[in-house]
Amino acid sequence: MSIRADNRHLYLQVIDHLKQDIEEGIYKEKEKLPSEFELAKKLGVSRATLREALRILEEDNVITRRHGVGTFVNTKPLFTSGIEQLNSVTKMIEQAEMKPGTIFLSSSTQDPTEEDIRRFSCSPEESIFVIERVRTANGEPVVYCIDKVPKKILPEIFPHREESLLLILEEEANRKITYAVAQIEPIGYHDKISPILECEPETALLVLNQMHYDEMDEPILYSVNYFKADKFSFRVLRKRI
C-alpha cells in the first residue's frame, strides 16, 4: 500500500505508517520487520527514504536494528514519567499498578571521593554511606541503583533495606528532599549491570544521575540509577519563555 497521501516529506509518512502498523498489532513487540527491500516496495518509497525513517524510529526507541540480522519492534515502556517530576522509583512502579520490590546488594561506609567532596561540600574526613540495590516491578529487575548519603545526616539506625529512600530520609533523618538536579544519558550494554537487570544484548540502559537537595538547599542524596530502556520512558515538558 502506497503512503503518498499527503504533502509531507515521505520519511515522515513512513514513520507514521509504521507506528500505526505497530499500534494495530500488524507488527508485534519483538517481531522482526520485513526486509528493507520488502518494506520499501510495500510502502512505495525508496530504500533511502525508508532508511531515514528507520533511523529516526530507532532513535525514538520504537525499533532496534541488528546489523546482519534485521529490524525488530521494541517492547513498549511500562513506566512513563516526566523527568521534571521528582518521583521515586517506588512511586513510578506503583503508578504503573505494579508491586515494587528491592533486592539489597550491599551497603558500606566509605571515605569520600574527590567528586563526593565537591558534590556534598564535605571534608575528606567525613564518611559517605553507599547503598547498592536492584529495584523490581512484580518481581522483575528493572532499575539498578547506587545511592550516596553523607553519614553525618543519618540516624544511628537507618532502615536502608526499605523501598523508597526519599521517604526514609524524610521520616528517619528528618530531611525532606524538595528538588534535584538531574542528568540523563543512554548507554549500551553494561558488562556488570545489564546481566543483573537480565537485559538482552541489544537492550540499552538509561542512566539518571541526580543530586537531591533539601528545603535549605543542602545536598542530601546523590543517586545513579540505571533504567532498562525498554521498560522506562522519560519525557520533558518544555515551555517557551
C-alpha–C-alpha distance, residues 79 and 133, integer Å = 19
Q: Which domain holds residue 231?
A: 79-235
Residue 5 lies in a domain: no
Do 68 and 101 reside in the same domain of the chain? Answer: no
**pLDDT-based confidence at 132, cuts 50/70/90?**
very high
Residue 3 lies in a domain: no
Domain count, the chain: 2
Do 107 and 181 reside in the same domain of the chain? Answer: yes
Do 158 and 226 reside in the same domain of the chain? Answer: yes
Whole-number pLDDT of residue 69: 86
Residue 4 lies in a domain: no
Phi, psi of 235 (to 5 degrees): -120, 160
Residue 241 lies in a domain: no
Domain boundary among 48, 73, 98: 73
**pLDDT-based confidence at 1, cuts 50/70/90?**
very low
Do 38 and 122 reside in the same domain of the chain? Answer: no
Whole-number pLDDT of residue 14: 92
Do 115 and 210 reside in the same domain of the chain? Answer: yes
Whole-number pLDDT of residue 236: 66
Do 107 and 58 reside in the same domain of the chain? Answer: no
Residue 224 lies in a domain: yes
State the CATH number of the domain containing residue 30: 1.10.10.10
The pLDDT tens digits of the residues spanning 64-105 come to 888 888 998 887 766 666 566 677 788 888 888 889 999 999
Do 124 and 39 reside in the same domain of the chain? Answer: no
**What's this model's pTM, rounded to 2 decimal places?**
0.69
